Chain A
């Protein structure tokens, strides 16, 4: 590992308490689940949720870099995930025979998925980051929708003459007899090896987590947060805003791409629709970030775990599940953010009650 990579993973920096707690929570949970898995105490339902939970943690933490650390609202995070998922699925499909070692193929798939997503992040970031606030939000949403839309109509095949692609139908590919269809438009990609496991998901989560936690505490991270808190002041002390914004945007896209790789290698058929790569997904990721606390990486992790498991835990309520979920969402937001309720909570919280009593006693003692 190069010196730079070690630095990025936090090798040479003293450990701070907050990050250590976050990392230990994740490691402890991993250990508990591994033990439960080993002793066969885990239900089918839960074991099916393990990879999605890893994916959602990665997505939430990476979006939090943009929303919480950089302070820009992005509604197109699922688009980057989509790019990563498709690029890596295509790679794994093509090299299924050429690279027999699963670990090597999967490692390369991760690198490719992440890299392609990061390039997209950079390409989209260059024009988009000129905009501000709600305008930036709508443009990221638009980009996410465009990516999803283009992927849905893409047909790709390969034969001895090379790659063929079309936006209309499989027949329009005009493949030779030995040709192979890779992407079938709205029917997506079939036959991607199911290589995603909970352990690999855990590794991806750890990489995302360590890089993000260290970024926040590094000089780079402080510069980025300075941009968030006061752009003009940051600019006037010589922080290059565009570079930092692009850096965060593409780093976040890279991790979203990794999550996409996890996703695409966990399914028999990969297709793109509104719920997995469209704006609904982007919104769901944003929900995790906001409920976990904007800017809090530990919050994102916890919210991702709870909220991915919640709809499954509520499964007993069958039809009312999503209705209750939406009501819970509104109530949580009101409870958390309403100025009146926040003031009320502060008044009745035990910490403040003790403080107030102390103050009263002091007043009495002084009298």
Chain B
């Protein structure tokens, strides 16, 4: 019973990681950059819904809408101002710029909201379900997180594989120059990728803060790194890989939390990552790249 409850909380946390990891992996696949500011977009999304729904008292759906739209705009803005001028530059330069953006978002939030944690009110107010005469408690947040994440993942998979824009995204990630020759607007496709990734980050932020209701300017940092780990774990650049990696990392973390030690759970997650990468150097579902001599 205990195992089942750890598993459920792991699945719910893992699906949040998966949503964030999707943003990392899509951006990596298309723009070939590690967007270190992605974790902080989660934090911005959570603050937006906090301001709209908790401080202003507007209905929750308005807050969710504002958060998703706000983050989408933010993602596109960051891409336009900070990353687009660096297209074709060294990858390290882009990485450092992304870190600069991450510092900027954190410190801007610190200035506006202060460093004291804000208590985030969950977007659903319902008593948890008790099964097996109270042995197994499932929170509504976990159910909501799981179902929303599954829906989003299905929608995203369909979008990527069937729609014209989705095909364009795959083409750009396969070969940017060839895609351009075929008449695909590469710049617009990259902007679209950032928009989708940031919208997913907003949803992840709302779901994460509903389950773990403290909000500080650094809320996004650790989930960001974990999700980045998840994306690498599943094979960075691979969309099913990010989903699988996210869910697995969430479950491993919760099981380690429950059975071994709460303080060591992060170390265990990273240790598992290292072992997996040593056995499969390009992640679980990553493509093996053959070198040409």
Nearest CB to that of B84 among chain A residues? A338
Q: Which of B12-20, B88-96, B182-190, B198-206 contacts A (4 or more CB under 8 A)?
A: B88-96
Q: In whole angstroms, what is the CA distance A326 to B111 when docked?
A: 13
Nearest CB to that of A338 among chain B residues? B85
What chain A residues lie within 8 Å of B89 (beta carbons)? 337-339
- Please tell me if the beta carbons of B107 and A326 are within 8 angstroms of each other in the complex: yes
- Please tell me if the beta carbons of A130 and B281 are within 8 angstroms of each other in the complex: yes
Tell whether B236 is near chain A: CB-to-CB under 8 Å: yes
- Please tell me if the beta carbons of B277 and A334 are within 8 angstroms of each other in the complex: no
The one of A143, A319, A330 that contacts B274, using a Cβ cutoff of 8 Å: A143
Tell whether B264 is near chain A: CB-to-CB under 8 Å: yes
Q: Which of B52-60, B121-129, B147-155, B225-233 contacts A (4 or more CB under 8 A)?
A: B225-233
Tell whether B212 is near chain A: CB-to-CB under 8 Å: no
Task: Give per-residue flags for A323-334: 1 if the beta carbon is below 8 A from chain B beta carbons, else 0.
Answer: 101110110011
- Please tell me if the beta carbons of A153 and B271 are within 8 angstroms of each other in the complex: no
- Please tell me if the beta carbons of B93 and A336 are within 8 angstroms of each other in the complex: yes
Chain B interface residue number, banded: 35 or more
Q: In whole angstroms, what is the CA distance A182 to B12 when docked?
A: 40
Q: Which of B270-293 contact A (CB under 8 A)?
A: 270-271, 273-274, 277-278, 281-283, 291, 293
Q: Which of B43-51, B69-77, B97-105, B163-171 contacts A (4 or more CB under 8 A)?
A: B97-105
Task: Give per-residue flags for A143-156: 1 if the beta carbon is below 8 A from chain B beta carbons, else 0.
Answer: 10110011011000
Nearest CB to that of B85 among chain A residues? A338
A149-B263, A333-B100 given as contacts; is B236 within 8 A of A134 (CB)? yes
Main secondary structure of the interface of B (DSSP, over half): helix
- Please tell me if the beta carbons of A135 and B111 are within 8 angstroms of each other in the complex: no
- Please tell me if the beta carbons of A149 and B267 are within 8 angstroms of each other in the complex: yes
What chain B residues lie within 8 Å of A322 (beta carbons)? 103, 107, 110
Q: Which of A11-19, A254-262, A286-294, A345-353 contacts B (4 or more CB under 8 A)?
A: A286-294
Nearest CB to that of B105 among chain A residues? A326
Nearest CB to that of A325 among chain B residues? B103
A323-B107, A334-B82, A339-B88 given as contacts; is B267 within 8 A of A146 (CB)? yes
What chain A residues lie within 8 Å of B119 (beta carbons)? none
Task: Give per-residue flags for A44-79: 1 if the beta carbon is below 8 A from chain B beta carbons, else 0.
Answer: 000000000000000000000001000001000000
Nearest CB to that of A323 among chain B residues? B107
What chain A residues lie within 8 Å of B278 (beta carbons)? 127, 130-131
CB distance from B226 to the nearest CB of A (A): 10
- Please tell me if the beta carbons of A232 and B293 are within 8 angstroms of each other in the complex: yes
The one of B92, B104, B277 that contacts A139, using a Cβ cutoff of 8 Å: B277
The one of A138, A283, A334 that contacts B273, using a Cβ cutoff of 8 Å: A138
Binding site for A on B (CB under 8 A): 28, 34, 82, 85-90, 92-97, 99-101, 103-104, 107-108, 110-111, 225, 228-229, 232, 236, 261, 263-264, 266-267, 270-271, 273-274, 277-278, 281-283, 291, 293
